Every structure is written in C-alpha cells, then in structure tokens.
Amino acid sequence: MNTIKLKSPDEIEAMYRANQVVAEALMAMADIVKPGLTTAELDEVARKVLEKHGARSAFLNYPHSNGGQAFPATVCTSVNEIIVHGVPSRDTVLKNGDILSMDFGAVVDGWVGDSALTVPVGDVSEDARRLLETGRECLSAAIDQARDGRRLGDLSNAVQRLAESHGFGVVTEFVGHGIGRSMHEPPPIPNVGMPGTGQRIKVGMVLAIEPMINAGTPAVVTEADGWTARTRDRKLSAHFEHSVAVTPEGPRILSARPRWNQRASPRETRS
C-alpha cells in the first residue's frame, strides 16, 4: 500500500503529456487574472482546456479525507490568506492588490499531472512581491535536491531554510506527494526537515513538490466547507508546485512552462 512506484521512461513521458495540459490551463488562467474577475470564471477556463485535450479533471469530485463533500470544481483558487483548496465562486471577485494561488490537476490516458502557482492581481505590495519571489525560490531549491541518492529531508530542508531565512512561516499541515496513476502516492514530501534524513530519492520517482509559505506563522485553520484552508493570523500565503521526475540526468520538471507569470522558472525542464 505504501510502496513507492518507480516510473519507466515511457511512463514519465506519459506523465509529461498530462502535465503539459496542466501547464496550458494554468497559463491560460494566469493570462486573464485581473481586478474584477471572479474565481468561477477561472474554473470555466480550466474546464475548456480539459475539453480541448479530452482530459479529465483530477480535482473535480475528489473525495474529502474526512468523508465530507467532494471537491466541487476543477481548480483550487486561493486568494490572499487562503493557503490551499479555495473553492471557485461567482461571489469571489479579485481586487487590485490581491494575490491568487491556482492549483490544477489533469488526467490524460490514466496519468495525473499536478502543478500550482501564485500570481499578483494588479499592483501588489512589496511585501506580497517578496513572498511570491521567495515561494518561487523555495520551489526551485527543492527541485534541485530531487536527485538520485539524496534524501527527502534534503529537499524539505531546502524549502524550510530558505523560507525561514526570509522571515516566512512554512506550512506543515499540508505536504507534497508522489504522483502517478493516482493524485496522491507515496512518499509524502514535507516542506520542513533535516538534511540527510528520510526516504532515499531514486531514479523513476515522480514527485509533486509544493512549498506553501506564509507571511506570518505556519498555523492553519480550515473553514466550515471542509476544504478552504486559511492562515490562522489572516496573513498572506503563497503556494507553488511542479511535478518533477527523478532521471539519471537530474530532476526533470514535467509541468514546466515557457513562462511562469512575469518571471520564468530558472530550471525549465532539467537541472
């Protein structure tokens, strides 16, 4: 049940195709983000990309871990202090100065792709920009550790060390995960940890690496809908994620895009 499923080169290529649908949808959504847009409109864009490719949503009707209502949308839209799992709504209207996290998954030929990014809405504060920049750097640093022979603690510590050095809190309640034919496969990937500890990383692993960092404390509270997770102190949160394959040449970012918001990821496909 908890066995890590190593993927063959052909299976990694299949996962790349699923992740490219994810990448296309995220960029289509990011392109239209502006003040006055509702998060429900973003969900409609994501649905159209899925339809275009004959893909299936990995999120829609995803079962709740505690037996609550299944997730009712194709994309998670988390505004400002919402960390993850925000539910799109016609009542949620983006405002100038907001930040918006979008987390999206697609299933293509039975393989799952998963990625997330946080973008500014209009003109945001310098503090918000610094949070977003640090989140991107945390993801990049973690990906660089996804190499054969290293340990998950090396990856986790890369996020923790960088985020905390900038004064940000690292969310511990939610973690990254293995990914393949299921959205969530072993191993869990915390964003805090000690170098040299944890599961040894091997060629063929595919990891959904997803730092979540807060402008304040790491504390989380979940709203009554059972999905929406906010910072307890109501300070901003940022979420970035890529699906990454461990190859003999190093980490390969399956969900890499030609551009990522205003700034490209420094490692587009391999490092």
CB of 139 closer than 8 Å to CB of 115:
no
Look at residue 268 and tell me whether its pLDDT is greater than 80: no
Across the range 255-266, mean pLDDT stands at 53
pLDDT at residue 264, as a whole number: 35
Taking CA 246 as the corner, what is the angle to CA 240 and CA 248, rounded to the nearest 5 degrees? Answer: 145
Q: How distant, in Å, are the alpha carbons of 92, 122, 139, 141, 223 from that of 129?
A: 22, 12, 16, 18, 26
Q: Give φ, ψ of 18 to 5 degrees.
A: -65, -40
Residue 108 is predicted with a pLDDT of: 98
- 195-220 average pLDDT score: 98
- The pLDDT tens digits of the residues spanning 89-122 come to 999 999 999 999 999 999 999 999 999 999 999 9
Tens digit of each residue's pLDDT (9 = 90 or more) over 40-94: 999 999 999 999 999 999 999 999 988 889 999 999 999 999 999 999 999 999 9
What integer pLDDT is reported at residue 68 of this predicted model?
87
Helix axes 39-53, 9-32, angle to 10 degrees: 140
Residue 195 pLDDT > 90: yes
- What pLDDT is attached to residue 57? 98
- For residue 226, pLDDT beyond 90: yes
Query: For a pLDDT cut of 90, what percent of the chain falls above it?
Result: 92
At residue 195, what are phi and psi to the nearest 5 degrees?
A: -60, 150
For the cut 90, the answer to whether the pLDDT of residue 247 exceeds it is yes
Structure tokens at 76: 């998670």
Q: If you average pLDDT over residues 29-45, what whole number do you get?
A: 98
What's the pLDDT score for residue 196?
Answer: 97
Is the backbone of residue 38 left (phi > 0), alpha (psi -120 to 50) or beta? beta
The residue that leads in pLDDT, 3 or 177, is: 177
pLDDT of residue 30: 96
**Pairing state of beta strands 176-178 and 185-189?**
antiparallel
Per-residue pLDDT at 229:
98
Query: 252 in helix, strand or coil?
Result: strand
pLDDT at 259: 53
User: 168, 131 in Cβ contact below 8 A?
Assistant: yes
| Report field, pTM of the whole predicted structure over 0.95 | no
Phi, psi (rounded to 5 degrees) for 182: -120, 150
User: Cα–Cα distance between 271 and 266 in angstroms, integer?
Assistant: 9
CA 247/CA 90 separation, integer angstroms = 42
The residue ranges of every structural domain in the chain are 9-253
Give the residue from 71, 116, 122 showing the smallest Cα distance to 94: 122
Mean residue pLDDT across the chain = 94
Q: Percent of the chain, pLDDT > 70?
A: 94
Give the pLDDT confidence score for residue 260 in this predicted structure: 44
Per-residue model confidence (pLDDT) at position 258? 60
Q: Which residues of 16-28 are buried (b: 16+ CB within 10 A; e: fewer)?
A: bbbbbbbbbbbbe
Task: Return the amino acid letter for 225.
Answer: D
Statement: residue 35 has pLDDT above 90: yes
What top-level class would CATH report for the domain 9-253?
alpha beta
